[in-house]
């Protein structure tokens, strides 16, 4: 890093001595500026600067038709060519002409930043506690009083009934495994009164309630019309005196 710093400093000093002093002020301690035409460029610049200073110091002429002397176009073109050559030489050496010392840049102090405006804090939001939802009412599963399981071979049948008083309500469900069965849900009082609730064919099951319209025996008759054994499970609950199997 020290070697790089020394090399950069040496390059800058060479540019200052060989090029910048002759080109800007006409000072050529080494004679290189004269060979490159830079000394003449610096002398022209100094002459122009002196003329500009003299014009600024002189009083304004009353005649409006008198114009200030213009710089010959040939001189301006020559100065531009010398500036271009100077930039090329600096690029070859590895340093930019712009790195030469220049007048300090006087920058006006930045205006103080405006103070931030006070922002009103939002009012706190009051959240009312949500009312807990009422617990859902779940109906109790029917309590079964009796359960019977039986198997029907092909063409076999079975009849089961509940002994009920008029107005009694019984809950029931039955399901078949191995196939559907034909059934008839009906009732009688052993005499003239009979009632038929529901019939079905090849049914896999049934569930619901059964209300006795009169006192007597109310229930189901099943028959297996298939070719394979079928198992039926019956569950009953509610109001009835007893479960009986009708032969």
Q: Provide the pLDDT confidence category of residue 176 given band limits of 50, 70 and 90.
A: very high
Question: 241: number of CA atoms within 13 Å, CB side?
Answer: 11
What pLDDT digit, counting tens, does each position of 13-51 carry? 777 676 767 777 767 777 776 777 777 777 777 777 777
199 touches 242 (CB < 8 A):
no
What pLDDT digit, counting tens, does each position of 129-157 carry? 556 555 443 334 468 999 999 999 999 99
Q: Provide the pLDDT confidence category of residue 126 given band limits of 50, 70 and 90.
A: low
| Nearest one of 198, 195, 193 to 209, comparing CA atoms | 198
**pLDDT reported for residue 90:** 63
d(CA 44, CA 92): 26
| Nearest one of 101, 91, 104 to 20, comparing CA atoms | 101
For domain 146-246, give the CATH number. Answer: 2.60.120.680
Q: In what helix (H) or strand (E) does residue 36 lie, and over which residues does it extend?
A: helix 32-36
Q: pTM of this prediction?
A: 0.44
**3-state helix, strand and coil shares in percent for the chain, rounded to the nearest 5:** 30, 30, 40
**pLDDT reported for residue 69:** 44
Instruction: Using DSSP, state whether 107 is helix, strand or coil.
Output: coil
d(CA 21, CA 28): 7
197 touches 210 (CB < 8 A):
yes
**pLDDT reported for residue 44:** 77
Residue 226 has pLDDT above 70, yes or no: yes
Domain residue spans in the chain? 2-55+74-99, 146-246
């Amino acid at each position: 890093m020290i070697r790089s710093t020394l090399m950069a400093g040496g390059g800058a000093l060479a540019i200052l001595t060989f090029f910048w002093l002759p080109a800007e002020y006409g000072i050529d301690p080494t004679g290189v500026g004269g060979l490159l035409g830079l000394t003449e460029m610096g002398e022209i610049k100094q002459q122009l600067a002196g003329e500009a200073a003299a014009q600024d110091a002189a009083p304004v002429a009353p005649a409006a038709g008198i114009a200030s002397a213009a710089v010959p176009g040939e001189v301006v073109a020559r100065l531009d060519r010398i500036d271009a050559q100077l930039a090329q030489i600096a690029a070859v050496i590895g340093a930019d002409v712009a790195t030469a010392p220049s007048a300090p840049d006087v920058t006006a102090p930045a205006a103080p930043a405006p103070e931030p405006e006070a922002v009103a804090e939002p009012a706190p939001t009051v959240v009312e506690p949500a009312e807990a939802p009422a617990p859902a009412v779940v109906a109790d599963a029917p309590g079964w009083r009796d359960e019977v399981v039986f198997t029907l071979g092909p063409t076999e049948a079975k009849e089961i009934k509940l002994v009920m008083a008029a107005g009694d309500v019984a809950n029931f469900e039955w399901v078949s495994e191995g196939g559907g069965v034909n059934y008839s849900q009906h009732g009688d009082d052993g005499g003239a009164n009979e009632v038929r609730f529901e019939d079905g064919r090849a049914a896999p099951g049934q569930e619901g309630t059964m209300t006795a319209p009169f006192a007597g025996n109310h229930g189901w008759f099943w028959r297996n019309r298939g070719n394979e054994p079928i198992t039926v499970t019956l569950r009953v609950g509610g109001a009835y005196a007893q479960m009986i199997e009708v032969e």
